[in-house]
A and B are shown apart, each in its own frame.
Chain A
Amino acid sequence: MEIDKNVDTLSEGQVDELIKKNIIMTSLEAVFNWARGNSLWPLSSGLACCAIEMMATGASRFDMSRFGYEVFRPSPRQADLIIIAGTLTWKMAPAIQRVYEQMPEPKWIIAMGSCACTGGPFADSYAVVPGVDKVIPVDVYVPGCPPRPEALLDGFLKLKAKIQNPTKVGLKHGK
């Protein structure tokens, strides 16, 4: 089958012909975003009780592996997602900021639990950051105290939808 170089779109007949030969056509960007959304590598970092819930999410009963998200990395150099699981204090904030900056682009952040979203029960305290978005940019907020593993998984899936449809949510990755 001949495809003219100046043609932007293929006719349905041409598409059907390609599919018969097991060929699909798409943009690289879409493939990359599809891959990124299906293989998030979170950083193994937790700050408080939420981290226990995050571990449960990774363990056999809830099994993040179903979605391809089980590869918790101990180094920020190998992670593209940081889950702020727990209470971020002002004392800890520079360390989290530093780890976030050490992660390679593209990277995402999930704020897990009330503390990470807004400060939670410690919102009025002198020692706690009232929401990690005061310090680093957050992609998905997962409410709860603590959120159950299902809620965290839902957050993951929301992030996946975000990554795979960058134009809809105004992410800087993609078009």
Chain B
Amino acid sequence: MANNLLDQFSQDELAARLQAEVEVSGEGVSRAVVVPKEQLLAVMEKLLREPDFAFDMLSDLTSVDRKDAGFEVVYQLFSLKHLCDLRVKTRTAAEEAQVPTVTGIWPGADWMEREVFDLMGVTFAGHPNMTRLLLPDEFEGHPLRKDFKLQPRA
């Protein structure tokens, strides 16, 4: 059973270590560190490089449609060194729907970010190939958005 980084560090300690305005949200297994997207890359870089964290594996990258509150992009990190879990979230407004890419930090984010772009319509600034992954290129819309309407069958 992997432990959670949030059992070892309080919110203030994390904020000091990461030099960012992080806040902890959620409870139990769904606790997450919420990072402003301007500081996302710096925080992720530290989470990978600092020996105390060493989050060398991005096991999942997904997104949530929060309607009026815009989109959340969720990063599920794992440290093979410490056998430690951490969930990081960042938010973006619905009109903008853009966050910086983490492909420079974990190359494995490439397809995950393409999937999020495909189904949720969040673009990742700096991604090497921001194209659809699962649906045909000519598909219109992003089906995982809450305002996506299915076409009625004729």
Taking CB atoms, residues of chain A closer than 8 Å to B150 are 124-126
**Distance between B141 CB and nearest chain A CB, rounded to angstroms:** 8
Query: Which residue on chain B has the smallest CB distance to residue A125?
Result: B150
CB-contacts of A6-44 with B (<8 A): none
Most chain A CB within 10 A, of B134, B136, B139, B150, is at B136
Taking CB atoms, residues of chain A closer than 8 Å to B8 are none
- The contact string, 1 if C-beta is below 8 Å from chain B, for chain A 82-113, is 00000000110000000000000000000000
* A48 in contact (CB, < 8 A): no
**How far does the alpha carbon of A17 sit from the alpha carbon of B151 in the complex, in Å?**
68
**Distance between B120 CB and nearest chain A CB, rounded to angstroms:** 14
**How far does the alpha carbon of A84 sit from the alpha carbon of B143 in the complex, in Å?**
26
Report which of A91, A123, A124, A130 forms a contact with B135, defined as CB distance below 8 A: A91
Q: Are A90 and B136 in touch, CB under 8 angstroms?
A: yes
CB-contacts of B64-98 with A (<8 A): none
Chain B interface, DSSP helix/strand/loop, else mixed = loop
Query: Which residue on chain B has the smallest CB distance to residue A127?
Result: B135
Taking CB atoms, residues of chain A closer than 8 Å to B151 are 126
Query: Which residue on chain A has the smallest CB distance to residue B152?
Result: A124
CB-contacts of B135-151 with A (<8 A): 135-136, 139, 143, 150-151
**How far does the alpha carbon of A123 sit from the alpha carbon of B151 in the complex, in Å?**
11
Q: Are B143 and A124 in touch, CB under 8 angstroms?
A: no
Q: Are A126 and B143 in touch, CB under 8 angstroms?
A: yes
Q: Are B153 and A90 in touch, CB under 8 angstroms?
A: no
Taking CB atoms, residues of chain B closer than 8 Å to A91 are 134-136
**How far does the alpha carbon of A127 sit from the alpha carbon of B136 in the complex, in Å?**
9
**Distance between A10 CB and nearest chain B CB, rounded to angstroms:** 56
Q: Are B153 and A130 in touch, CB under 8 angstroms?
A: yes
Taking CB atoms, residues of chain A closer than 8 Å to B139 are 90, 126
**How far does the alpha carbon of A73 sit from the alpha carbon of B12 in the complex, in Å?**
64
**How far does the alpha carbon of A79 sit from the alpha carbon of B17 in the complex, in Å?**
64
**How far does the alpha carbon of A123 sit from the alpha carbon of B150 in the complex, in Å?**
11
**Distance between A135 CB and nearest chain B CB, rounded to angstroms:** 13
CB-contacts of A57-99 with B (<8 A): 90-91
CB-contacts of B90-117 with A (<8 A): none
**Distance between B111 CB and nearest chain A CB, rounded to angstroms:** 15
Taking CB atoms, residues of chain A closer than 8 Å to B143 are 126-127
**Distance between A156 CB and nearest chain B CB, rounded to angstroms:** 31
Q: Are A123 and B136 in touch, CB under 8 angstroms?
A: no
Can you give 11 contacting A-B residue pairs, CB < 8 Å?
Answer: A90-B135, A90-B136, A123-B153, A124-B150, A126-B139, A126-B150, A126-B151, A127-B134, A127-B135, A127-B143, A130-B153
